[in-house]
Amino acid sequence: MTDSGDFDAAWLPPAAFRAVGGRRSLVRAAAGPLVDTVYGELADACERFGGRVVRDGAAEEPELVLELTGDDPGDEGFALERRDGTTTVTASGARGLLYGLFHVVRLGEDAFHGERARETHRPALATRMLDHWDNVAVHPVMGQVERGYAGGSLFWADGRARGDLDRVRAYGRLLAACGINAVAVNNVNVHETEAHLLTDRIGEVAAIADALRPYGVRTHLSVTFAAPMVLGSLPTADPLDGAVRGWWAEATRRVYEEIGDFGGYVVKADSEGQPGPFAYGRSHADGANMLAAALEPYGGTVHWRAFVYDHHQDWRDRRTDRARAAYDHFTPLDGEFAANAVLQVKHGPMDFQVREPVSPLIGAVPDTRLAVELQVTQEYTGQQRHVCWLGPMWSEALRFRPDGEVSTGRLADGLVAVSNAGDDPFWTGHPLAQANLYTFGRLAWDPAADPRAVLGEWIALTHPGAEERLVAGLHAVLDGSWSTYEKYTAPLGVGFMVQPGHHYGPSVDGYEYSPWGTYHFADRDGVGVDRSTATGTGYAGQYAKPWSEVYESPETCPDELLLFFHHVPYGHVLHSGRTVIQHIYDTHFEGVEEVEEARRVWAGLADLVEPARHARVAERFEEQLRSAREWRDQVNSYFLRKSGVPDGRGRTIY
């Protein structure tokens, strides 16, 4: 917990500043909101650890210099070097200075020894953003935070913006320390109350923006496409209608009057019941460009989500394939989106499952600005009751190039994720889920970073001076936790098998006869979805070579995605040498054993972890184990009953 005792310090406990705070530092920059933040951070650290913030020209040489060399707010990079006993961070923009300071904090004592040749650091992606699916008014089904597993909203309580924004400031600080520079403060499903944030309630958004600004975090807003009708009483929301365009231009002008550095809009249109341009026979480019035009004079951006599919599908209809939808809708529009419109694409073609291929839409729209969307909140990966560190999954996705051999190397212009933070004292419900938030930020800064090294950073910051047994224990618990989760849940990329609605816990046929387009097609002979071009839905053909060929055949398709792409008999032999049915049994037993082992490791760390934190994780492990056993037994029993094939190792299946 922090000194105030209200909430956990996460990856910025006071002790993380020991090396910086024990030294003489100098800030060479004119005052301004971000420079003041840098100065304040140093002053606090020095007060605690005995260092001093000195003035230019003081008798004693500073050991750390942070110098602003320009006035470029768009430049987030910084340079670091160490010569003659002085570590120097230079940046041409104040954000860079702040990121440089946090970099020095990460380096700790290493930043102050020996010589260091000049190295430059710059984020690979300009937009590093978190979407909060937070409702202002508690939603009767989804609650305060849709898919939130960390208590209430950080921003909203009792039907309005929180009056006390200390926690929001602390959040901005944590985000800056891992490189995140943008936040959307409300749910993409914009309900009635939340629609008003755009107009008569913009002052509440402005207050949040004020709290985040000192940490270089810009505020964005989710808006409803129907706003001109809902808020402006126009008879239409047609994006080509002059009055509608005028309404958006005026509404946006007023937003910028309140929030001069407002980031822009996030829009979920024609998706799961949200209004959109289809109602007027217009395209999604028409819709996005209308908003882009309204934002353009002020430098704002519209993030237009590509999560568009038919959620009223007839399960009897085998031709419609939800996985195809984003690509089918958006590739014909490539080149039509405005320069300040960003197409926001979920990393997989379905919906944040534990295993999906990378969406073929990424890489298929070279003339469209693109942001990849991840989900830090663990909707389908244990809902922050299970430990599931997603770093390896994201890293794999970010390194993949769906455009194959012709790849120009660009994956995206931005990385966005659904946040997992709430007003829980530990921020994320499961204290170890903080690692997911930190890892997201660092991968957005550098998608090529080694996720395990990022996890190492998180461990070192969160537990300054941790002894080796704790570091090793945390790695043991977290490193393989995604793979463990995958083992005891839906097998081989087939996805879902969750309880409908809340999506927690197993229900193998929970979505099998539903309108949502998420099926596994298990029968007595086999399981999986045929998405080949030859005999299936043709989804595999949406990829460029070599992936279209790799995925087309069960012989070349990677094991972990086999059931995503193919319907195969239970006796089909995987590259691993095991049959599909034996793989299902084995991994489900293994997954539970791995949870038991992680729980045992965690119990052994009790003397090294703060008691409240240790207890919270220990309690979650009990639930994870209960749930993992439930998954194992339901999945194994289901497939034993369907297939009639016994477990080759004769273990108990019900």
SS3 622: helix
Cβ proximity to ligand GCU: between 268 and 588 the closer is: 268
Does 630 participate in catalysis according to the annotation?
Answer: no
Question: Which of the residues 8, 41, 379, 457 is marked catalytic?
Answer: 379
| Smallest separation, CB 274 to ligand GCU (Å) | 8
194 binds ligand GCU (CB under 6 A): no
64 binds ligand GCU (CB under 6 A): no
Cβ proximity to ligand GCU: between 307 and 458 the closer is: 307
Cβ proximity to ligand GCU: between 388 and 477 the closer is: 388
SS3 136: strand
SS3 169: helix
∠ CA 102-106-108, rounded to 5°: 115
Nearest-Å Rg of the Cα atoms of the chain is 25
Per-residue string for binding with ligand GCU, 343-362, x by CB under 6 A?
Answer: --------x-----------
Cβ proximity to ligand GCU: between 7 and 496 the closer is: 496
147 binds ligand GCU (CB under 6 A): yes
DSSP 479-522: TTHHHHHHHHSS-TT----BPTTT--SB-TTTTTTSTTS-----
Q: Quick one: which of 125, 188, 345, 490 contacts ligand GCU (CB under 6 A)?
A: 188
| Smallest separation, CB 142 to ligand GCU (Å) | 7
| Smallest separation, CB 89 to ligand GCU (Å) | 38
State the Cα–Cα distance between residues 121 and 102, nearest whole angstrom.
12
Cβ proximity to ligand GCU: between 134 and 379 the closer is: 379
Residue 601 has φ and ψ, to the nearest 5°, of -60, -45
Cβ proximity to ligand GCU: between 42 and 197 the closer is: 197
Question: Which of the residues 63, 134, 351, 560 is marked catalytic?
Answer: 351
Write out the binding residues for ligand GCU, residues 233-272 only, by CB under 6 A: 268, 272
Cβ proximity to ligand GCU: between 165 and 188 the closer is: 188
Q: Quick one: which of 63, 146, 194, 552 contacts ligand GCU (CB under 6 A)?
A: 146
Per-residue string for binding with ligand GCU, 269-298, x by CB under 6 A?
Answer: ---x--------------------------
| Smallest separation, CB 640 to ligand GCU (Å) | 30
189 binds ligand GCU (CB under 6 A): yes
| Smallest separation, CB 277 to ligand GCU (Å) | 17
Measured torsion, CA atoms of residues 441, 443, 446, 451, in degrees rounded to the nearest 10: 130
Instruction: State yes or no: cis peptide before 554, omega within 30 of 0.
Output: no
State the Cα–Cα distance between residues 129 and 131, nearest whole angstrom.
7
**Amino acid (one-letter) located at 601:** V
Measured torsion, CA atoms of residues 38, 43, 49, 54, in degrees rounded to the nearest 10: 100
Per-residue string for binding with ligand GCU, 215-234, x by CB under 6 A?
Answer: --------------------
3-state helix, strand, coil split of the chain in percent (to 5) is 40, 15, 45
State the Cα–Cα distance between residues 614 and 427, nearest whole angstrom.
15
Tokens of 572: 């089909």
Does 109 participate in catalysis according to the annotation?
Answer: no
SS3 406: helix
Cβ proximity to ligand GCU: between 187 and 289 the closer is: 187
| Cα separation values, 29 from 92, 104, 138, Å | 10, 18, 44
Tokens of 139: 């939603």
| Smallest separation, CB 411 to ligand GCU (Å) | 20
DSSP H/E element including 305: strand 301-305
Cβ proximity to ligand GCU: between 197 and 350 the closer is: 350
| Smallest separation, CB 308 to ligand GCU (Å) | 10
Q: Quick one: which of 78, 265, 307, 337 contacts ligand GCU (CB under 6 A)?
A: 307
Task: Tell me which DSSP letter residue 536 carries.
Answer: S
State the Cα–Cα distance between residues 432 and 170, nearest whole angstrom.
18
State the Cα–Cα distance between residues 356 and 386, nearest whole angstrom.
20
State the Cα–Cα distance between residues 471 and 491, nearest whole angstrom.
31
Task: Tell me which DSSP letter residue 367 carries.
Answer: T
Does 47 participate in catalysis according to the annotation?
Answer: no
Per-residue string for binding with ligand GCU, 363-402, x by CB under 6 A?
Answer: ----------------x-----------------------
| Smallest separation, CB 300 to ligand GCU (Å) | 21
| Smallest separation, CB 503 to ligand GCU (Å) | 7
Report the interface residues with ligand GCU, using CB under 6 A: 146-147, 188-189, 268, 272, 307, 351, 379
Give the residue numbers marked as catalytic: 272, 351, 379
